[in-house]
Amino acid sequence: MFNLFKKKESQSQWVNSPIQGRIEALDSVPDPVFAGKMVGDGFAVKPANGMVYAPISGEVVQLFGTKHAFGIRSSEGLEVLVHVGIDTVQLKGEGFEAHVATGDQVTQGQLVLSVDLEAIEAAGKSTITPVIVTNMTEVSELVLASEIIGSDKGPTDAVLSVRMK
């Protein structure tokens, strides 16, 4: 129990893009909750296809019933939310298929969701996908290299560097 208080300086962790696509800054997301970083800091990706992978290794702490978003917590305590599209909670799971369940352990790059991007667009929703660190109070450093913005990245590409306190 007491060794909890003797935690050594933590290493940086890489958050990969969950989807193949173009990396965008969060402030370009057409939703003030994400653009204003109310949920946390991170990046967004404009998907080129609908295969969504785990951006970090860890436990699936939340997979929404509507399957439009999921959260993973790493063993180091980093929590990352992937929210596929904007206002997609209103689609009630239509066009979303889950390949994991809440409580599962996943490894970085493991397939989590298959998403019908055309169904999202047909419903008049944006497919842009915020990837957010939700427990910013436990993070000491978060780095998104500016040259990554606008570039094409996929599930094997590191995008965001995060160091926990």
Give catalytic residues, as residue numbers. 83
3-class DSSP state for residue 77? Answer: coil
Residue choice 15, 19, 79, 125 for contact with other proteins (CB under 8 A): 79
CB nearer to other proteins: pick between 83 and 154: 83
**Residue 123 is a binding residue for other proteins (CB under 8 A):** no
Site for other proteins in 102-121 (CB under 8 A): 102
Pure H helices in 10-115: 32-35
Report how far residue 139's alpha carbon sits from residue 154's, in angstroms, rounded to the nearest whole number.
24
Instruction: For residue 9, give Cα distances in angstroms to 5, 6, 56, 163, 164.
Output: 12, 9, 20, 9, 8
Report how far residue 113's alpha carbon sits from residue 99's, in angstroms, rounded to the nearest whole number.
6
**Residue 40 is a binding residue for other proteins (CB under 8 A):** yes
**Residue 148 is a binding residue for other proteins (CB under 8 A):** no
Report how far residue 84's alpha carbon sits from residue 31's, in angstroms, rounded to the nearest whole number.
13
Size of the site for other proteins (CB under 8 A): 23
Q: Where do contacts with other proteins occur on this chain (CB under 8 A)? A: 31, 33-34, 38-40, 61-62, 64-66, 69, 71, 73, 79, 81, 83, 89-90, 102, 134-135, 137
